Structure 1
Amino acid sequence: MSQLDTAHRPRRPFALLGSELALVFRRRRTWATLGALALVPVLIAIAVRLTTDGSSGGPAFLGDITNNGLFVAFTALTVSIPLFLPLTVGVVSGDTVAGEASHGTIRYLLVAPTGRLRFVLVKYAGAVAFCLAATLLVVLVGAAVGAMLFPIGPVTLLSGTQVGGWSYAGRAVLLALYVTLSMLGLAAIGLFASTLTTVPVGAMAATVVLAGVSQVLDQLPQLDWLHPFLFSHRWLGFGDLLRDPISFDSFGSNAVLQLGYVAVFGALAYGRFATKDVLS
Protein backbone atom coordinates (compact mmCIF):
# COMPACT_ATOMS: atom_id res chain seq x y z
CA MET A 1 0.00 0.00 0.00
CA SER A 2 1.48 3.38 -1.00
CA GLN A 3 1.14 5.15 2.33
CA LEU A 4 2.87 2.30 4.09
CA ASP A 5 5.90 2.64 1.85
CA THR A 6 6.12 6.39 2.31
CA ALA A 7 6.11 5.96 6.10
CA HIS A 8 9.78 4.97 5.82
CA ARG A 9 10.85 8.06 3.85
CA PRO A 10 12.33 10.56 6.33
CA ARG A 11 12.52 13.35 3.74
CA ARG A 12 8.74 13.36 3.32
CA PRO A 13 7.36 13.62 6.88
CA PHE A 14 3.87 14.61 5.70
CA ALA A 15 3.59 12.06 2.90
CA LEU A 16 1.85 9.54 5.14
CA LEU A 17 -0.66 12.14 6.30
CA GLY A 18 -1.42 13.21 2.74
CA SER A 19 -1.81 9.60 1.69
CA GLU A 20 -4.17 8.92 4.61
CA LEU A 21 -6.34 11.93 3.79
CA ALA A 22 -6.50 10.83 0.17
CA LEU A 23 -7.42 7.32 1.30
CA VAL A 24 -10.22 8.59 3.55
CA PHE A 25 -11.78 10.95 1.04
CA ARG A 26 -11.47 8.69 -1.99
CA ARG A 27 -13.56 5.93 -0.48
CA ARG A 28 -17.07 5.52 -1.77
CA ARG A 29 -18.22 4.89 1.81
CA THR A 30 -16.92 8.32 2.83
CA TRP A 31 -18.75 10.05 0.01
CA ALA A 32 -21.89 8.07 0.79
CA THR A 33 -21.84 9.17 4.44
CA LEU A 34 -21.13 12.78 3.47
CA GLY A 35 -23.97 12.63 0.95
CA ALA A 36 -26.33 11.33 3.63
CA LEU A 37 -25.32 14.19 5.94
CA ALA A 38 -25.87 16.72 3.16
CA LEU A 39 -29.43 15.46 2.82
CA VAL A 40 -30.25 16.47 6.40
CA PRO A 41 -30.44 20.24 5.78
CA VAL A 42 -32.03 19.67 2.37
CA LEU A 43 -34.83 17.55 3.82
CA ILE A 44 -35.38 19.95 6.71
CA ALA A 45 -35.65 22.93 4.38
CA ILE A 46 -37.99 21.16 1.97
CA ALA A 47 -40.19 19.86 4.79
CA VAL A 48 -40.52 23.32 6.32
CA ARG A 49 -41.19 24.87 2.93
CA LEU A 50 -43.97 22.40 2.15
CA THR A 51 -45.63 22.23 5.57
CA THR A 52 -45.68 25.80 6.87
CA ASP A 53 -46.61 29.20 5.53
CA GLY A 54 -44.64 31.11 8.15
CA SER A 55 -47.63 31.69 10.46
CA SER A 56 -47.25 31.30 14.19
CA GLY A 57 -48.37 28.30 16.14
CA GLY A 58 -45.78 25.72 15.11
CA PRO A 59 -42.44 24.90 16.69
CA ALA A 60 -40.21 27.92 17.19
CA PHE A 61 -37.49 26.76 14.84
CA LEU A 62 -39.98 26.50 11.97
CA GLY A 63 -40.79 30.17 12.30
CA ASP A 64 -37.08 30.99 12.51
CA ILE A 65 -36.37 29.12 9.27
CA THR A 66 -39.26 30.61 7.33
CA ASN A 67 -38.27 34.11 8.45
CA ASN A 68 -34.59 33.59 7.72
CA GLY A 69 -33.07 30.79 5.63
CA LEU A 70 -29.77 31.04 7.48
CA PHE A 71 -31.38 29.13 10.34
CA VAL A 72 -31.47 26.00 8.19
CA ALA A 73 -27.74 25.48 8.81
CA PHE A 74 -28.13 25.87 12.58
CA THR A 75 -31.17 23.57 12.72
CA ALA A 76 -29.51 20.90 10.56
CA LEU A 77 -26.40 20.95 12.71
CA THR A 78 -28.50 20.60 15.88
CA VAL A 79 -30.47 17.70 14.40
CA SER A 80 -27.30 15.94 13.19
CA ILE A 81 -25.40 16.01 16.48
CA PRO A 82 -27.29 13.33 18.45
CA LEU A 83 -27.40 10.63 15.75
CA PHE A 84 -26.15 11.32 12.24
CA LEU A 85 -22.74 12.79 13.03
CA PRO A 86 -21.86 10.15 15.69
CA LEU A 87 -22.93 7.45 13.24
CA THR A 88 -20.66 8.70 10.46
CA VAL A 89 -17.75 9.45 12.81
CA GLY A 90 -18.09 5.96 14.27
CA VAL A 91 -17.90 4.43 10.80
CA VAL A 92 -14.78 6.35 9.80
CA SER A 93 -12.87 6.09 13.10
CA GLY A 94 -13.78 2.44 13.56
CA ASP A 95 -12.19 1.64 10.22
CA THR A 96 -8.88 3.41 10.86
CA VAL A 97 -6.71 0.52 12.08
CA ALA A 98 -9.09 -2.42 11.69
CA GLY A 99 -9.49 -1.60 8.01
CA GLU A 100 -5.74 -1.92 7.47
CA ALA A 101 -5.69 -5.17 9.41
CA SER A 102 -8.57 -6.65 7.42
CA HIS A 103 -6.75 -5.89 4.15
CA GLY A 104 -3.50 -7.42 5.41
CA THR A 105 -1.49 -4.20 5.03
CA ILE A 106 -0.87 -3.52 8.70
CA ARG A 107 1.86 -6.14 9.02
CA TYR A 108 4.26 -3.96 7.01
CA LEU A 109 4.08 -1.30 9.69
CA LEU A 110 4.40 -3.71 12.61
CA VAL A 111 7.94 -4.60 11.57
CA ALA A 112 8.97 -0.95 12.05
CA PRO A 113 8.40 -0.07 15.74
CA THR A 114 9.55 3.54 15.29
CA GLY A 115 6.70 4.16 12.86
CA ARG A 116 3.85 3.03 15.09
CA LEU A 117 3.26 6.30 16.93
CA ARG A 118 3.19 8.24 13.68
CA PHE A 119 0.83 5.67 12.21
CA VAL A 120 -1.64 6.11 15.09
CA LEU A 121 -1.40 9.90 14.93
CA VAL A 122 -1.96 9.94 11.18
CA LYS A 123 -4.95 7.62 11.42
CA TYR A 124 -6.50 9.85 14.07
CA ALA A 125 -5.76 12.96 12.00
CA GLY A 126 -7.68 11.39 9.13
CA ALA A 127 -10.69 10.84 11.39
CA VAL A 128 -10.49 14.43 12.66
CA ALA A 129 -10.34 15.72 9.08
CA PHE A 130 -13.53 13.82 8.33
CA CYS A 131 -15.24 15.33 11.40
CA LEU A 132 -14.37 18.83 10.19
CA ALA A 133 -15.45 18.11 6.61
CA ALA A 134 -18.75 16.61 7.76
CA THR A 135 -19.73 19.53 10.00
CA LEU A 136 -18.71 22.17 7.46
CA LEU A 137 -20.68 20.33 4.79
CA VAL A 138 -23.86 20.44 6.90
CA VAL A 139 -23.39 24.16 7.54
CA LEU A 140 -22.61 25.07 3.92
CA VAL A 141 -25.41 22.98 2.42
CA GLY A 142 -27.83 24.32 5.03
CA ALA A 143 -26.91 27.91 4.24
CA ALA A 144 -27.15 27.32 0.49
CA VAL A 145 -30.53 25.56 0.51
CA GLY A 146 -31.87 28.05 3.05
CA ALA A 147 -30.90 30.94 0.80
CA MET A 148 -32.63 29.30 -2.15
CA LEU A 149 -35.93 28.54 -0.41
CA PHE A 150 -36.33 31.30 2.19
CA PRO A 151 -35.58 35.00 2.60
CA ILE A 152 -32.24 36.06 4.04
CA GLY A 153 -31.83 38.92 6.49
CA PRO A 154 -30.43 39.99 9.87
CA VAL A 155 -30.31 37.17 12.42
CA THR A 156 -31.70 37.54 15.94
CA LEU A 157 -29.35 35.94 18.45
CA LEU A 158 -30.26 34.28 21.74
CA SER A 159 -29.37 37.49 23.54
CA GLY A 160 -32.02 39.35 21.52
CA THR A 161 -29.65 41.45 19.42
CA GLN A 162 -29.50 41.25 15.64
CA VAL A 163 -26.43 40.66 13.49
CA GLY A 164 -25.91 40.78 9.77
CA GLY A 165 -25.53 37.80 7.50
CA TRP A 166 -21.73 37.92 7.40
CA SER A 167 -21.47 38.15 11.17
CA TYR A 168 -23.77 35.15 11.49
CA ALA A 169 -21.65 33.30 8.91
CA GLY A 170 -18.66 33.75 11.19
CA ARG A 171 -20.67 32.35 14.09
CA ALA A 172 -21.77 29.43 11.91
CA VAL A 173 -18.10 28.59 11.32
CA LEU A 174 -17.54 28.70 15.08
CA LEU A 175 -20.52 26.37 15.52
CA ALA A 176 -18.97 23.94 13.03
CA LEU A 177 -15.67 24.08 14.91
CA TYR A 178 -17.51 23.49 18.20
CA VAL A 179 -19.26 20.42 16.79
CA THR A 180 -16.00 19.15 15.29
CA LEU A 181 -14.40 19.55 18.71
CA SER A 182 -17.32 17.65 20.23
CA MET A 183 -16.60 14.66 17.98
CA LEU A 184 -12.90 14.40 18.90
CA GLY A 185 -13.52 12.23 21.96
CA LEU A 186 -15.74 9.85 20.02
CA ALA A 187 -13.17 9.63 17.22
CA ALA A 188 -10.50 8.69 19.79
CA ILE A 189 -12.78 5.99 21.19
CA GLY A 190 -13.33 4.69 17.66
CA LEU A 191 -9.58 4.63 17.05
CA PHE A 192 -9.04 2.58 20.20
CA ALA A 193 -11.85 0.19 19.31
CA SER A 194 -10.29 -0.19 15.88
CA THR A 195 -7.04 -1.45 17.41
CA LEU A 196 -8.89 -4.22 19.26
CA THR A 197 -10.15 -6.11 16.23
CA THR A 198 -9.43 -6.97 12.63
CA VAL A 199 -13.12 -6.63 11.74
CA PRO A 200 -13.93 -2.97 10.97
CA VAL A 201 -17.69 -3.47 11.34
CA GLY A 202 -17.22 -4.56 14.95
CA ALA A 203 -15.24 -1.44 15.83
CA MET A 204 -17.75 0.78 14.01
CA ALA A 205 -20.70 -0.79 15.82
CA ALA A 206 -19.02 -0.53 19.23
CA THR A 207 -18.23 3.15 18.70
CA VAL A 208 -21.75 4.03 17.57
CA VAL A 209 -23.33 2.07 20.44
CA LEU A 210 -21.11 3.86 22.98
CA ALA A 211 -22.23 7.19 21.54
CA GLY A 212 -25.85 6.20 22.11
CA VAL A 213 -25.18 4.85 25.60
CA SER A 214 -23.41 8.06 26.61
CA GLN A 215 -26.37 10.16 25.51
CA VAL A 216 -28.85 7.91 27.31
CA LEU A 217 -26.85 8.09 30.53
CA ASP A 218 -26.70 11.85 30.17
CA GLN A 219 -30.51 11.98 30.37
CA LEU A 220 -30.81 10.05 33.64
CA PRO A 221 -31.16 12.42 36.62
CA GLN A 222 -30.01 9.66 38.96
CA LEU A 223 -26.56 9.93 37.35
CA ASP A 224 -26.06 13.68 37.73
CA TRP A 225 -22.61 13.07 39.20
CA LEU A 226 -21.55 11.24 36.03
CA HIS A 227 -22.88 13.71 33.46
CA PRO A 228 -19.90 16.12 33.43
CA PHE A 229 -17.57 13.22 32.58
CA LEU A 230 -19.56 11.88 29.61
CA PHE A 231 -18.05 12.77 26.25
CA SER A 232 -21.49 13.67 24.87
CA HIS A 233 -22.43 15.93 27.79
CA ARG A 234 -21.52 19.22 26.06
CA TRP A 235 -22.42 18.30 22.48
CA LEU A 236 -25.31 20.79 22.44
CA GLY A 237 -23.69 23.44 24.62
CA PHE A 238 -22.95 25.95 21.87
CA GLY A 239 -25.52 28.54 22.98
CA ASP A 240 -22.79 30.94 24.12
CA LEU A 241 -21.67 31.28 20.49
CA LEU A 242 -25.10 32.70 19.60
CA ARG A 243 -24.99 35.53 22.12
CA ASP A 244 -23.68 39.06 21.90
CA PRO A 245 -20.94 39.36 22.94
CA ILE A 246 -19.70 35.86 22.22
CA SER A 247 -18.69 33.84 25.26
CA PHE A 248 -16.21 31.00 24.83
CA ASP A 249 -16.85 29.45 28.26
CA SER A 250 -18.70 26.42 26.87
CA PHE A 251 -16.15 26.10 24.08
CA GLY A 252 -13.33 25.91 26.61
CA SER A 253 -15.14 23.45 28.86
CA ASN A 254 -15.94 21.22 25.91
CA ALA A 255 -12.31 21.38 24.74
CA VAL A 256 -11.05 20.22 28.14
CA LEU A 257 -13.56 17.36 28.20
CA GLN A 258 -12.84 16.17 24.67
CA LEU A 259 -9.07 16.49 24.94
CA GLY A 260 -9.22 14.40 28.10
CA TYR A 261 -10.88 11.60 26.13
CA VAL A 262 -8.38 12.06 23.30
CA ALA A 263 -5.47 11.74 25.74
CA VAL A 264 -6.85 8.65 27.48
CA PHE A 265 -8.12 6.70 24.48
CA GLY A 266 -5.29 7.90 22.25
CA ALA A 267 -2.82 6.49 24.76
CA LEU A 268 -4.80 3.25 24.97
CA ALA A 269 -4.88 3.00 21.18
CA TYR A 270 -1.14 3.49 20.91
CA GLY A 271 -0.48 1.09 23.78
CA ARG A 272 -2.57 -1.57 22.07
CA PHE A 273 -1.06 -0.96 18.64
CA ALA A 274 2.52 -0.84 19.96
CA THR A 275 2.19 -4.38 21.33
CA LYS A 276 -0.01 -5.74 18.55
CA ASP A 277 1.01 -9.06 17.01
CA VAL A 278 1.03 -9.64 13.29
CA LEU A 279 -2.39 -11.14 12.70
CA SER A 280 -2.83 -10.45 8.99
Structure 2
Amino acid sequence: MPADPTATRATAPLGPTRGLGLGLVASEIAVLFRRTRTIAMLGALAAIPVLLAIAVRVTTSRDGSRGPAFLGDITQNGLFVSLTALTVAIPLFLPLTVGVVAGDTIAGEAGLGTLRYLLVAPAGRIRLLVVKYVGAAAFCAAGTLVIVVFGAIVGVLLFPVGPVTLLSGDTVGFAGYAGRMLLMALYVTISLLGLSAIGLFISTLTSVPVGAMAATIVLSTVAQIIGALPQLAFLQPWLFTNYWLGFADFFRSPISWENFGSNALLQLGYVVVFGFLAFGRFTTKDILS
Protein backbone atom coordinates (compact mmCIF):
# COMPACT_ATOMS: atom_id res chain seq x y z
CA MET A 1 0.00 0.00 0.00
CA PRO A 2 1.39 3.48 -0.80
CA ALA A 3 2.90 5.60 1.89
CA ASP A 4 0.70 7.18 4.51
CA PRO A 5 0.53 10.87 3.50
CA THR A 6 0.56 12.19 7.02
CA ALA A 7 3.47 9.97 8.00
CA THR A 8 5.42 10.91 4.88
CA ARG A 9 5.12 14.63 5.56
CA ALA A 10 5.39 14.35 9.29
CA THR A 11 9.04 15.10 9.89
CA ALA A 12 11.06 17.88 8.32
CA PRO A 13 14.76 18.21 9.00
CA LEU A 14 15.75 21.12 11.17
CA GLY A 15 18.93 22.87 12.10
CA PRO A 16 22.26 21.56 10.78
CA THR A 17 20.75 18.35 9.46
CA ARG A 18 18.64 20.22 6.95
CA GLY A 19 21.39 20.81 4.43
CA LEU A 20 22.37 17.15 4.33
CA GLY A 21 18.81 15.88 4.42
CA LEU A 22 19.59 13.64 7.41
CA GLY A 23 16.22 14.44 8.92
CA LEU A 24 14.50 13.44 5.69
CA VAL A 25 16.47 10.19 5.59
CA ALA A 26 15.55 9.37 9.19
CA SER A 27 11.91 10.22 8.51
CA GLU A 28 11.81 8.13 5.32
CA ILE A 29 13.34 5.09 7.01
CA ALA A 30 11.04 5.43 10.01
CA VAL A 31 7.96 5.68 7.78
CA LEU A 32 9.12 2.77 5.60
CA PHE A 33 9.65 0.38 8.49
CA ARG A 34 6.41 1.38 10.21
CA ARG A 35 4.29 0.39 7.23
CA THR A 36 2.25 -2.75 7.62
CA ARG A 37 3.38 -3.88 4.18
CA THR A 38 7.06 -3.60 5.08
CA ILE A 39 6.56 -5.45 8.36
CA ALA A 40 4.65 -8.17 6.51
CA MET A 41 7.42 -8.57 3.92
CA LEU A 42 10.10 -8.78 6.61
CA GLY A 43 7.94 -11.33 8.41
CA ALA A 44 7.67 -13.38 5.21
CA LEU A 45 11.46 -13.26 4.79
CA ALA A 46 11.91 -14.36 8.40
CA ALA A 47 9.57 -17.28 7.75
CA ILE A 48 11.86 -18.67 5.02
CA PRO A 49 14.58 -20.02 7.32
CA VAL A 50 12.01 -21.02 9.95
CA LEU A 51 9.89 -23.08 7.54
CA LEU A 52 12.98 -24.51 5.87
CA ALA A 53 14.45 -25.66 9.17
CA ILE A 54 11.15 -27.11 10.40
CA ALA A 55 10.64 -28.99 7.11
CA VAL A 56 14.11 -30.51 7.28
CA ARG A 57 13.68 -31.37 10.94
CA VAL A 58 10.29 -33.05 10.48
CA THR A 59 11.35 -34.93 7.35
CA THR A 60 14.55 -36.18 8.94
CA SER A 61 12.78 -37.27 12.11
CA ARG A 62 10.08 -39.14 10.19
CA ASP A 63 11.99 -41.19 7.63
CA GLY A 64 15.65 -40.48 8.24
CA SER A 65 16.14 -39.15 4.70
CA ARG A 66 18.37 -36.15 4.32
CA GLY A 67 17.36 -34.98 0.86
CA PRO A 68 19.76 -32.86 -1.19
CA ALA A 69 23.28 -32.46 0.15
CA PHE A 70 22.89 -28.81 1.15
CA LEU A 71 19.77 -29.66 3.16
CA GLY A 72 21.52 -32.61 4.73
CA ASP A 73 24.23 -30.24 5.97
CA ILE A 74 21.60 -28.51 8.11
CA THR A 75 20.93 -31.68 10.07
CA GLN A 76 24.63 -31.93 10.91
CA ASN A 77 25.05 -28.30 11.91
CA GLY A 78 22.26 -25.79 12.53
CA LEU A 79 24.51 -22.90 11.56
CA PHE A 80 23.95 -23.84 7.92
CA VAL A 81 20.29 -22.77 8.11
CA SER A 82 21.17 -19.10 7.48
CA LEU A 83 23.34 -19.98 4.50
CA THR A 84 20.74 -22.27 2.95
CA ALA A 85 17.85 -19.86 3.55
CA LEU A 86 19.73 -16.96 1.99
CA THR A 87 20.64 -19.10 -1.01
CA VAL A 88 16.98 -20.00 -1.45
CA ALA A 89 15.79 -16.39 -1.00
CA ILE A 90 18.20 -14.65 -3.38
CA PRO A 91 16.69 -15.71 -6.74
CA LEU A 92 13.06 -14.84 -5.96
CA PHE A 93 11.98 -13.72 -2.51
CA LEU A 94 14.52 -10.96 -1.87
CA PRO A 95 14.18 -9.45 -5.38
CA LEU A 96 10.40 -9.58 -5.02
CA THR A 97 10.36 -7.60 -1.77
CA VAL A 98 13.06 -5.18 -2.96
CA GLY A 99 11.10 -4.64 -6.18
CA VAL A 100 8.01 -3.72 -4.15
CA VAL A 101 9.91 -1.19 -2.04
CA ALA A 102 11.95 0.33 -4.89
CA GLY A 103 9.01 0.48 -7.28
CA ASP A 104 6.96 2.36 -4.71
CA THR A 105 9.57 5.04 -3.97
CA ILE A 106 8.32 7.80 -6.28
CA ALA A 107 5.28 6.24 -7.93
CA GLY A 108 3.73 5.52 -4.54
CA GLU A 109 3.88 9.18 -3.55
CA ALA A 110 2.55 10.25 -6.96
CA GLY A 111 -0.30 7.77 -6.79
CA LEU A 112 -1.20 8.92 -3.30
CA GLY A 113 -1.09 12.59 -4.29
CA THR A 114 1.65 13.55 -1.81
CA LEU A 115 4.56 14.01 -4.22
CA ARG A 116 3.91 17.74 -4.67
CA TYR A 117 3.97 18.26 -0.92
CA LEU A 118 7.31 16.47 -0.61
CA LEU A 119 8.84 18.69 -3.28
CA VAL A 120 7.98 21.81 -1.33
CA ALA A 121 10.72 22.89 1.13
CA PRO A 122 12.69 21.35 2.70
CA ALA A 123 12.95 18.64 0.04
CA GLY A 124 14.07 19.24 -3.53
CA ARG A 125 13.85 16.76 -6.36
CA ILE A 126 17.46 15.59 -6.21
CA ARG A 127 17.43 15.27 -2.45
CA LEU A 128 14.12 13.38 -2.55
CA LEU A 129 15.55 10.89 -5.04
CA VAL A 130 18.58 10.30 -2.83
CA VAL A 131 16.44 9.90 0.29
CA LYS A 132 14.10 7.44 -1.41
CA TYR A 133 17.04 5.40 -2.68
CA VAL A 134 18.66 5.32 0.76
CA GLY A 135 15.37 4.00 2.14
CA ALA A 136 15.29 1.23 -0.47
CA ALA A 137 18.92 0.35 0.28
CA ALA A 138 18.12 0.20 4.00
CA PHE A 139 15.40 -2.31 3.26
CA CYS A 140 17.88 -4.44 1.28
CA ALA A 141 20.11 -4.60 4.35
CA ALA A 142 17.21 -5.24 6.73
CA GLY A 143 15.72 -8.02 4.62
CA THR A 144 19.05 -9.80 4.30
CA LEU A 145 19.82 -9.53 8.01
CA VAL A 146 16.38 -10.81 8.96
CA ILE A 147 17.02 -14.02 7.02
CA VAL A 148 20.49 -14.45 8.51
CA VAL A 149 19.46 -13.74 12.10
CA PHE A 150 16.30 -15.86 12.10
CA GLY A 151 18.18 -18.63 10.32
CA ALA A 152 20.81 -18.63 13.07
CA ILE A 153 18.19 -18.64 15.83
CA VAL A 154 16.08 -21.48 14.45
CA GLY A 155 19.21 -23.44 13.51
CA VAL A 156 20.50 -23.31 17.08
CA LEU A 157 17.10 -24.31 18.46
CA LEU A 158 16.42 -27.28 16.17
CA PHE A 159 19.80 -28.77 15.25
CA PRO A 160 23.22 -29.53 16.73
CA VAL A 161 25.72 -26.70 16.53
CA GLY A 162 29.47 -27.06 16.24
CA PRO A 163 32.55 -26.02 14.27
CA VAL A 164 31.86 -25.36 10.59
CA THR A 165 33.85 -27.01 7.82
CA LEU A 166 34.52 -24.56 4.98
CA LEU A 167 34.65 -25.37 1.28
CA SER A 168 38.44 -25.32 1.49
CA GLY A 169 38.38 -28.03 4.16
CA ASP A 170 39.38 -25.75 7.05
CA THR A 171 37.26 -25.56 10.19
CA VAL A 172 36.11 -22.38 11.94
CA GLY A 173 34.28 -21.85 15.22
CA PHE A 174 31.05 -19.97 15.84
CA ALA A 175 32.71 -16.53 15.95
CA GLY A 176 34.57 -17.10 12.69
CA TYR A 177 31.44 -18.40 10.97
CA ALA A 178 29.34 -15.50 12.29
CA GLY A 179 31.84 -13.04 10.81
CA ARG A 180 31.64 -14.78 7.45
CA MET A 181 27.83 -14.73 7.55
CA LEU A 182 27.87 -10.98 8.18
CA LEU A 183 30.19 -10.58 5.18
CA MET A 184 27.77 -12.69 3.19
CA ALA A 185 24.87 -10.47 4.29
CA LEU A 186 26.87 -7.42 3.17
CA TYR A 187 27.56 -9.11 -0.16
CA VAL A 188 23.87 -9.84 -0.75
CA THR A 189 22.89 -6.31 0.27
CA ILE A 190 25.33 -4.86 -2.26
CA SER A 191 24.01 -7.29 -4.86
CA LEU A 192 20.52 -5.79 -4.52
CA LEU A 193 21.57 -2.15 -4.87
CA GLY A 194 21.53 -2.28 -8.66
CA LEU A 195 17.98 -3.64 -8.66
CA SER A 196 16.97 -0.88 -6.23
CA ALA A 197 18.35 1.75 -8.63
CA ILE A 198 16.43 0.20 -11.52
CA GLY A 199 13.25 0.23 -9.43
CA LEU A 200 13.81 3.87 -8.51
CA PHE A 201 14.13 4.83 -12.17
CA ILE A 202 11.03 2.88 -13.20
CA SER A 203 9.18 4.51 -10.32
CA THR A 204 9.84 7.95 -11.84
CA LEU A 205 8.17 6.88 -15.09
CA THR A 206 4.69 6.27 -13.71
CA SER A 207 2.23 7.27 -11.03
CA VAL A 208 0.98 3.70 -10.72
CA PRO A 209 3.09 2.03 -8.03
CA VAL A 210 1.86 -1.49 -8.79
CA GLY A 211 3.11 -1.13 -12.36
CA ALA A 212 6.54 0.03 -11.20
CA MET A 213 6.77 -2.81 -8.68
CA ALA A 214 5.77 -5.42 -11.26
CA ALA A 215 8.18 -4.10 -13.88
CA THR A 216 11.09 -4.16 -11.43
CA ILE A 217 10.34 -7.72 -10.33
CA VAL A 218 9.91 -8.90 -13.94
CA LEU A 219 13.25 -7.38 -14.95
CA SER A 220 14.91 -9.24 -12.10
CA THR A 221 13.42 -12.53 -13.31
CA VAL A 222 14.29 -11.84 -16.95
CA ALA A 223 17.89 -11.03 -16.05
CA GLN A 224 18.24 -14.35 -14.23
CA ILE A 225 16.73 -16.24 -17.16
CA ILE A 226 19.11 -14.56 -19.60
CA GLY A 227 22.01 -15.39 -17.29
CA ALA A 228 21.06 -19.08 -17.40
CA LEU A 229 21.00 -19.31 -21.21
CA PRO A 230 24.31 -20.46 -22.75
CA GLN A 231 23.35 -18.80 -26.04
CA LEU A 232 23.42 -15.40 -24.31
CA ALA A 233 26.59 -15.98 -22.31
CA PHE A 234 28.15 -12.81 -23.73
CA LEU A 235 25.57 -10.76 -21.81
CA GLN A 236 26.13 -12.43 -18.44
CA PRO A 237 29.03 -10.22 -17.21
CA TRP A 238 26.78 -7.16 -17.67
CA LEU A 239 23.71 -8.48 -15.87
CA PHE A 240 23.12 -7.09 -12.38
CA THR A 241 22.25 -10.63 -11.29
CA ASN A 242 25.53 -12.13 -12.50
CA TYR A 243 27.29 -12.26 -9.12
CA TRP A 244 24.28 -12.81 -6.89
CA LEU A 245 25.42 -16.30 -5.88
CA GLY A 246 29.12 -15.49 -5.68
CA PHE A 247 29.24 -15.44 -1.88
CA ALA A 248 30.74 -18.94 -1.71
CA ASP A 249 34.16 -17.26 -1.61
CA PHE A 250 33.47 -16.31 2.00
CA PHE A 251 33.49 -20.00 2.87
CA ARG A 252 37.06 -20.54 1.79
CA SER A 253 40.28 -20.02 3.69
CA PRO A 254 41.68 -17.57 2.95
CA ILE A 255 38.68 -15.56 1.76
CA SER A 256 38.74 -14.64 -1.91
CA TRP A 257 37.58 -11.07 -2.55
CA GLU A 258 37.48 -11.26 -6.35
CA ASN A 259 33.72 -11.76 -6.69
CA PHE A 260 33.05 -9.20 -3.98
CA GLY A 261 35.00 -6.52 -5.83
CA SER A 262 33.53 -7.40 -9.23
CA ASN A 263 30.00 -7.43 -7.81
CA ALA A 264 30.44 -4.10 -6.03
CA LEU A 265 31.81 -2.50 -9.21
CA LEU A 266 28.96 -3.89 -11.31
CA GLN A 267 26.30 -2.72 -8.87
CA LEU A 268 27.94 0.70 -8.66
CA GLY A 269 27.68 0.94 -12.44
CA TYR A 270 23.96 0.20 -12.30
CA VAL A 271 23.45 2.68 -9.47
CA VAL A 272 25.24 5.42 -11.41
CA VAL A 273 23.54 4.74 -14.75
CA PHE A 274 20.01 4.32 -13.45
CA GLY A 275 20.56 7.03 -10.86
CA PHE A 276 21.32 9.49 -13.64
CA LEU A 277 18.36 8.22 -15.67
CA ALA A 278 16.10 8.72 -12.67
CA PHE A 279 17.60 12.16 -12.12
CA GLY A 280 17.05 13.13 -15.77
CA ARG A 281 13.48 11.92 -15.75
CA PHE A 282 12.45 13.24 -12.36
CA THR A 283 13.99 16.71 -12.66
CA THR A 284 12.19 17.37 -15.96
CA LYS A 285 8.91 15.72 -15.04
CA ASP A 286 5.74 17.73 -14.50
CA ILE A 287 4.44 16.86 -11.04
CA LEU A 288 0.65 16.80 -11.21
CA SER A 289 -0.12 14.89 -8.02
Using structure 2 for the length normalisation, give the TM-score.
Answer: 0.92
The yes-or-no answer on 1:18 pairing with 2:26 is yes
Instruction: State the match for 2:153 in structure 1.
Output: 144
Check 1:253–1:199 CA distance in 2 against 1; reply closer, same or farther (3 A cut): same
The answer on whether the counterparts of 1:34 and 1:134 sit within 8 Å (CA) in structure 2 is yes
Matches within 5 A, 1:101-180: 101-110=110-119, 115-180=124-189
**Shift of residue 12, structure 1, vs aligned partner:** 2.7
Which piece of structure 1 moves more, 144-153 or 49-58?
49-58
**Shift of residue 206, structure 1, vs aligned partner:** 0.2
**Shift of residue 4, structure 1, vs aligned partner:** 4.7
- Residues in 2 aligned to 1:271 and 1:244: alpha-carbon distance in whole angstroms: 45
Instruction: State the match for 1:50 in structure 2.
Output: 58
The percentage of counterpart residues that share the same residue type is: 66
The answer on whether the counterparts of 1:101 and 1:198 sit within 8 Å (CA) in structure 2 is yes
The answer on whether the counterparts of 2:71 and 2:84 sit within 8 Å (CA) in structure 1 is no
Matches within 5 A, 1:93-104: 93-104=102-113
Give the partner amino acid of 1:12: T
**Shift of residue 183, structure 1, vs aligned partner:** 0.3
The yes-or-no answer on 1:217 pairing with 2:226 is yes
Give the partner amino acid of 2:213: M
Instruction: State the match for 1:247 in structure 2.
Output: 256
Check 1:122–1:56 CA distance in 2 against 1; reply closer, same or farther (3 A cut): same
- Residues in 2 aligned to 1:4 and 1:55: alpha-carbon distance in whole angstroms: 56
**Shift of residue 218, structure 1, vs aligned partner:** 0.3
Aligned with residue 79 of structure 2, among 52, 65, 70: 70
Instruction: State the match for 1:34 in structure 2.
Output: 42
**Shift of residue 270, structure 1, vs aligned partner:** 1.2
The answer on whether the counterparts of 1:3 and 1:15 sit within 8 Å (CA) in structure 2 is no
The answer on whether the counterparts of 2:7 and 2:31 sit within 8 Å (CA) in structure 1 is no
Instruction: State the match for 2:3 in structure 1.
Output: none
**Aligned length in residues:** 280
The yes-or-no answer on 1:260 pairing with 2:265 is no
- Residues in 2 aligned to 1:175 and 1:160: alpha-carbon distance in whole angstroms: 19
1:217-253 Cα shifts (integer Å, max 9, x gaps): 0011011110000000110011111101111111000
- Residues in 1 aligned to 2:128 and 2:251: alpha-carbon distance in whole angstroms: 38
**Shift of residue 114, structure 1, vs aligned partner:** 7.6
1:72-117 Cα shifts (integer Å, max 9, x gaps): 0000000000000000000000000011111111113445698111
- Residues in 1 aligned to 2:58 and 2:7: alpha-carbon distance in whole angstroms: 49
Check 1:6–1:116 CA distance in 2 against 1; reply closer, same or farther (3 A cut): farther
Aligned to 2:17, the other structure's residue is in SS state coil
Q: Any unmatched runs of 5+ in structure 1?
A: none
Instruction: State the match for 1:61 in structure 2.
Output: 70
Check 1:160–1:55 CA distance in 2 against 1; reply closer, same or farther (3 A cut): farther
- Residues in 2 aligned to 1:156 and 1:84: alpha-carbon distance in whole angstroms: 28
Aligned with residue 239 of structure 2, among 220, 230, 236: 230
Aligned to 2:161, the other structure's residue is in SS state coil
Give the partner amino acid of 2:50: V
Aligned to 1:218, the other structure's residue is in SS state helix
1:166-192 Cα shifts (integer Å, max 9, x gaps): 100000000100000000000000001
